[in-house]
């Protein structure tokens, strides 16, 4: 208490000056419209700047939730695209029946590890068996094909990238449905190769390459890339095609894992045919 009294005694002149100054400002702004408006504009500008900064900071830290929400929404919309449905070829009289049946569903995931400089590159995502992911599922990005799921744990999965010498993805030319196999030669992560396109098939630069219907991993029509260059040597039966990939693997952040609802049924039927041979 004595220290407090000593403090006021020592600084009472400054405290008195501060109180009188504050009182004079109150009188000035209370009884003068111009000064009051100027003060309100000044304080309002400071407050709006503060709230804008707080709002920007809050929005920044909420971007992860917004991104996850958008990925889930994109996965749902992809599942509603026409190439995610199987056309049964007939219509029944029931009002709930339809010509198209859902064949593909999509699971969104984030990339947590990725390589592009090796001969055989792999990708790790933050979704696994608990999210419904299984080995041998196709994986795409918003731009095009990414790869094939190889291993799965409860919370993670590894993907054999399209930038992997062991990855082969069935694809075709969009303009004439001539099919081939997407296979990486291990050089440039921006490019890959299409093999086994017959020499009689007419092709030109910038022809678009999409996935074919010969695979149980991808719906038909998923973008792959465009023809960058092509050649045909004398005596060869197939074109040599270099494809510029739509997916930029060096900046890959988000992917969609594809679940083919009829995959097991098709593979079981085809395995029976193989056993007969």
Same domain flag for 258 and 127: yes
Q: Say which residues have a Cβ less than 8 Å from residue 38's Cβ, sequence separation at least 6.
A: none
Q: What is the DSSP letter of 219?
A: -
Is 120 found in the same domain as 57?
Answer: no
Are 44 and 113 in a shared domain? Answer: no
User: pTM above 0.85?
Assistant: no
**pLDDT < 70: residue spans in the chain:** 1, 4, 6-9, 25, 28-66, 68-69, 72-73, 75-101, 273-277
Cα separation of 170 and 214, whole Å? 6
Separation of alpha carbons 187 and 185, rounded Å: 6
pLDDT digits (tens, 9 = 90+) for 125-173: 999 999 999 999 999 998 899 999 999 999 999 999 999 999 999 999 9
Give CA–CA dist 100/49, Å, rounded: 54
Residues 33 and 120 in one domain: no
Cβ-contact 136, 267 below 8 angstroms:
no
- Confirm whether 223 is domain-assigned: yes
Q: Has residue 66 been placed in a domain?
A: no
Q: How many domains is the chain built from?
A: 2
The answer on 188 and 262 residing in a single domain is yes
Tokens 């889930």, residue? 72
Residue 88 domain-assigned? no
- 3-class SS of residue 26: helix
Burial class (CB in 10 A: 0-12, 13-18, 19+), 8: exposed
Full residue range of the structural domain in which residue 145 is found: 106-277
Contacts of 118 (CB under 8 A, 6+ apart): none
The answer to whether position 94 is within a domain reads no
Quote the pLDDT of residue 94: 32
- Burial class (CB within 10 angstroms; exposed 0-12, middle 13-18, buried 19+) of 60: exposed
Tokens of 266: 């098709």
Are residues 27 and 136 located together in one domain of the fold?
Answer: no
- CATH number of the domain at 219, please: 2.40.10.340
Query: How many angstroms separate the CA atoms of 174 and 142, rounded?
Result: 18
Q: Note the pLDDT of residue 31.
A: 67
The whole-number pLDDT of residue 19 equals 77
187 in a structural domain? yes
Query: CB-hemisphere CA count at 13 Å for 169?
Result: 37
Contact 174, 207 (CB under 8 A): yes
What are the backbone dihedrals phi and psi of residue 86, each rounded to the nearest 5 degrees, phi first? Answer: -105, 130
Question: What's residue 23's pLDDT?
Answer: 73
């Amino acid at each position: 208490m004595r220290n407090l009294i000593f403090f006021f005694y020592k600084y009472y002149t400054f405290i008195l000056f501060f109180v009188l100054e504050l009182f004079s400002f109150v009188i000035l702004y209370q009884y003068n419209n111009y000064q009051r408006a100027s003060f309100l504009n000044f304080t309002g500008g400071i407050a709006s700047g503060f709230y804008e900064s707080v709002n920007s900071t809050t929005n920044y830290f909420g971007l992860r939730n917004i991104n996850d929400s958008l990925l889930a929404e994109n996965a749902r919309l992809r599942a509603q695209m026409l190439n995610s449905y199987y056309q049964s070829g007939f219509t029944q009289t029931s009002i709930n029946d339809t010509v198209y049946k859902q064949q593909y569903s999509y699971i969104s995931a984030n990339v947590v590890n990725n390589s592009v400089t090796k001969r055989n590159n792999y990708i790790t995502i933050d979704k696994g068996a608990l999210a419904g992911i299984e080995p041998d599922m196709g994986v795409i990005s918003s731009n095009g094909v990414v790869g094939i799921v190889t291993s799965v744990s409860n919370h993670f999965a590894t993907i054999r990238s399209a930038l992997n010498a062991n990855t082969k993805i069935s694809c075709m030319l969009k303009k004439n449905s001539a099919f081939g196999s997407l296979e990486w030669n291990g050089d440039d992560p921006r490019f890959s190769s299409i093999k086994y396109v017959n020499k009689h098939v007419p092709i030109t630069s910038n022809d678009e390459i999409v996935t074919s219907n010969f695979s149980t991993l991808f719906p038909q029509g998923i973008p792959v890339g465009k023809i960058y260059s092509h050649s045909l040597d004398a005596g060869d039966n197939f074109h040599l095609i270099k494809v510029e990939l739509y997916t930029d693997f060096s900046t890959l952040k988000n992917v969609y894992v594809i679940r083919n609802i009829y995959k097991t049924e098709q593979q079981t039927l085809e395995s029976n045919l193989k056993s007969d041979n």
